[in-house]
Structure 1
Amino acid sequence: MSSTTSSRLFKPLKIGNNTLQHRIALLPLTRNRNDNEHTPITIMEKYYADRASAPGTLIISEATATSYEEQNQRNIPGINTEKQVAAWSKIIDAVHAKGSVYFQQLFALGRAGTVDYVKERGLPYRSASDIPLDGVDAIPTPMTEAEILQTIDDFVSSAKNSVAAGADGVEIHAAHGYLLDQFLSSASNKRTDRWGGSVENRARLTLEVIKAVSAAIGPEKVAVRFSPYAGFQGVAKDDIEEVYTYLVKQIKQMSPSFAYLSLVEARGDPNHVVLGHKLINESKTLDFLLKAWDNFAPVVVAGSYTPETAIAAVDGHYKDYNVIVGFGRPYIANPDLVYRVQHGIPLNKYDRSTFYLVMSDIGYNDYPFSHEFLTTKVGA
């Protein structure tokens, strides 16, 4: 086995109140293993705990709905009821038992909800404006001022519930065409009130959520995710640098402490990764945003990384920044991913056809640990 322990990828790094022992993170991954009431089930405890097996790993949960009204895709989780909080608490305890760090990703779906499921539940199908998603035969209703303010409150209550369940912090999902991103993009936000129009107005909801959640649980427990170059779910932006430079400058002014910033590279656009479309911003980099952020807090970067490109990123392109590399699909198939990367062990191949098998252990808890990892643990 070759070792990569000399790389910055395996040097400790502090995020919020916690110290990571390396710079590999489990990215948020929708897996649809929750029950029909949007509550985590027992098999999820093993799944998350296994991927936390290297002590000091940053584990970020799958996207978790902030309210009953936003649980608008089948078998995604919520963290709103006592039963949901209790179920997440067991998962978080299992992660902590491995000595790792846990953040709950929180999101509201808006027009990204499944239309027939929204109707089945008797809930409004809504967004920033009445701009439909391509290929969806439904027009969302523009949210009222009261609904927008309630959305902020919902992020706060779900953040409090996450901390009550034991989470070390929360990651606010403002990426990939979900509700906050729908407000950020002029392609999906045609409002003329204080929540739309200018960059400042389109950014208002995201910033108000961050501000309110930070006040509720402490800014050192708050992170946010952005995908500047993603066109997924109809939120491509023609003013990328202006929008995201403004956002990070405003976040830096809120508090001297913040857990981390999560950013998706241009090549990580789900339009390409999930749907197979051609990349529209392939040559673009996050450099302008890293420069504006200026090491205010660590940055998680995501975008089809391999062990080799992750090492090259932290030791090369991002050598001047405190960067954590997030892994998604490879982490699904390799519960001991950190150990494999560190020791140059080949990765298991993932099977995309099993990614979203509802409440199933297949493609979830049946990927093996490496022989080397198991041997090391037995001899420890």
Structure 2
Amino acid sequence: MASPFNPIQLGRTRLRNRIVMSPMTRSRAHGPAASPNPLMATYYAQRAGAGLIVTEGIQPNPIGQGYPSTPGLHNRTQIAAWRQVTDAVHARGGVIFAQLMHTGRVGHPTNYAEAYHPEAVAGSATARASQAPLETRKTPATPVGPSPIAAQGQIFTASGLQDFVTPVALTDAGITQTITDFADAAANAIDAGFDGVELHGANGYLLHQFLSTNANQRTDKWGGSVENRTRMIIETTRAVAETIGAERTALRISPGNPLNDITEDDYRQTYPRVLTALDPLGLAYLHVLESTDPQFTQDLRQAWRGVFVLNPSTPGSRTGPEHLRLVEDGDSDLVSFGSLFIANPDLPERLRTHAPLAQPDMTKAYGGDAAGYTDYPTMHGDLEREATA
């Protein structure tokens, strides 16, 4: 029987335990050019006791930003700022992957830190990061997606909740450039000191939108059949693996998850195709965000030969100590925890010793300053405000 507190090999990196800090948007990238700041370095360093930290979603290009004050990895300022974060985590013996998240149609023109016209920008993200700034425009841009179909619902902006807008459908050239941007952002992540990257193919964002049967109404090679709708996520993952190495590349999926107005009528046919294409690459891990079909999760577990990370379905609750049994029973190699890591910077130690768990104040989860971010004490009462020192 495996213990969640035993080490495990993840690609070229050995993790101290099998507890993962799940990616969580916190909207505190208040540094210049949508970059992280010292407060973010403190936040992640406080949680370096996790076997693996997966960062909040990081946009691989400016148009990939969905929410206010989320960070990017597509320019020199951002690379240097993320180095502060990775150095702080590594100084405490932690391992940290960058989650690359392009939100696609889940965005709003007023939320972009900077906007640009895709056709006006030449070259890769790496080239852009090493050159003087290219032409940008400060006027709002329109989100992009697989098809010009707006998601039903609203998104938070600096002006309050606003309806999702109709996205601009990516051209074939735009899709190719977006795949390149993901690969280049992955290279930037390695330059910034990350141990690897996790591609966000879940929760109704761009890669998930291409998989869906409602957001993707294309009739070209990127839409229609299962083969065509899976092409974007497969090609993006391959491109990243070729750029930084498969052992430093991971993927997150959420089969059947309706978040952000996603419909997947044939997810039981879609995801086996994705796994069949990607399993031979030898990726660092597959991260499954379970939603409505636990039996299908176990089907995926059996189909995936590599490391399997599970964020279990917890309707009306959150992942807690009882879910450590998923590792003990062999249902997963690692288990990821979300909101409990917000209020418990030393969560693995609390779980190991059966210590009381603090509950997060979710009214302070997004935006703001240190309150509700770096001011949660450890179980010993220590408040590590200077965790990066």
Normalising to structure 2: TM-score of the pair? 0.84
Q: Residue 68 of structure 2 corresponds to which residue in structure 1?
A: 74
Quote the Cα distance in structure 2 between the aligned partners of 1:94 and 1:33.
17
Distance 2:301 2:293 in 1: 18
- Displaced runs of 4+ in structure 1, greater than 6 A? none
Q: Is residue 2:33 matched to residue 1:37?
A: yes
Deviation at 1:285, TM superposition (A): 4.5
Give yes or no for the alignment of 1:323 onto 2:333.
Answer: yes
Whether contact under 8 Å (1:49, 1:98) holds in the other structure is yes
Instruction: Please tell me whether the aligned partners of residues 256 and 263 of structure 2 are also in contact (alpha carbons under 8 angstroms).
Output: yes
Q: 1:300 to 1:98 in 2, by over 3 A?
A: farther
1:357 aligns with 2:367: yes
**Structure with the higher fraction of residues in helix conformation:** 1
- Which residue in the other structure is 1:287 paired with? 298
Segments of 5+ residues of structure 1 without an aligned counterpart are 1-5, 267-280, 375-380
Residue 337 (str. 1) matches residue 365 (str. 2): no
Mapped contact 2:268–2:296 kept (Cα < 8 A): no
Matches of 1:121 and 1:20 in 2, distance apart? Answer: 44
Deviation at 1:7, TM superposition (A): 6.0
Q: Whole-Å Cα distance in 2 between the matches of residues 12 and 81 of structure 1?
A: 35
- Distance in 2 (CA, whole Å) between partners of 1:137 and 1:213 is 29
In the TM superposition, what is the alpha-carbon distance from 1:71 to its structure 2 partner? 2.6
Provide the residue aligned with 1:378 in structure 2.
none
C-alpha spacing 1:129/1:306, structure 2 compared with 1 (3 Å): closer
Query: 2:262 aligns to what SS in structure 1?
Result: coil
Which residue in the other structure is 2:147 paired with? 129
Q: Superposed, which structure 2 residues align to 1:230-245 within 5 Å?
A: 230-245=257-272
Cα drift, residue 373 of structure 1 = 8.1
Contact 1:354-1:363 within 8 A present in 2 as well: yes
Q: Which residue of 1 aligns with 2:93?
A: 99
Q: Could you tell which deviates more after superposition, 325-334 or 66-75? A: 66-75
Does 2:283 align with 1:258? yes
Secondary structure of 1:61's match?
A: strand
Given that 1:301 and 1:323 are in contact with CA atoms closer than 8 Å, whether structure 2 keeps it comes out as no
Q: Is the 8 A contact 2:284 2:306 kept in 1?
A: no
TM-score normalised by structure 1 residue count = 0.86
What amino acid is aligned across from residue 291 of structure 1 in structure 2?
Q
Q: CA deviation at 1:80?
A: 1.2
- Cα distance between partner residues in 1 of 2:165 and 2:14: 46
Indicate the SS of the match to 2:178: helix
- TM-superposed deviation, 1:335: 0.3
C-alpha contact 2:212 2:229 (8 A) present in aligned 1: yes
TM-fit CA distance, 1:129: 0.6
Read off the aligned partner of 1:59 and give its amino acid letter: I
Instruction: Tell me the CA shift for residue 114 of structure 1.
Output: 2.1
Tell me the CA shift for residue 306 of structure 1.
Answer: 4.0
Structure 1 counterpart of 2:172, which letter?
E
> Which letter does structure 1 place at the counterpart of 2:278?
I
Matched, 1:314 2:339: no
Task: Tell me whether 1:116 sits opposite 2:125 in the alignment.
Answer: no
1:151 equivalent in structure 2: 178
Amino acid at match of 1:328: G
Question: What amino acid does structure 2 have at the position aligned with 1:40?
Answer: P
Asked if 1:167 corresponds to 2:180, the answer is no
For the residues of structure 1 that align with 2:349 and 2:143, how far apart are their CA atoms? 44
Quote how far apart the aligned CAs of 1:226 are. 0.1
Structure 2 partner of 1:346: 356
* 1:165-194 alpha-carbon deviations (Å, 9 max, x no partner): 111100000100101111000111000000
Structure 1 position 125, deviation (Å): 2.4
SS in 2 for 1:286: helix
Matches of 1:261 and 1:181 in 2, distance apart?
15
Aligned length: 346
Contact 2:251 2:285 in 1 (8 A): yes
Aligned match of 2:205: 178
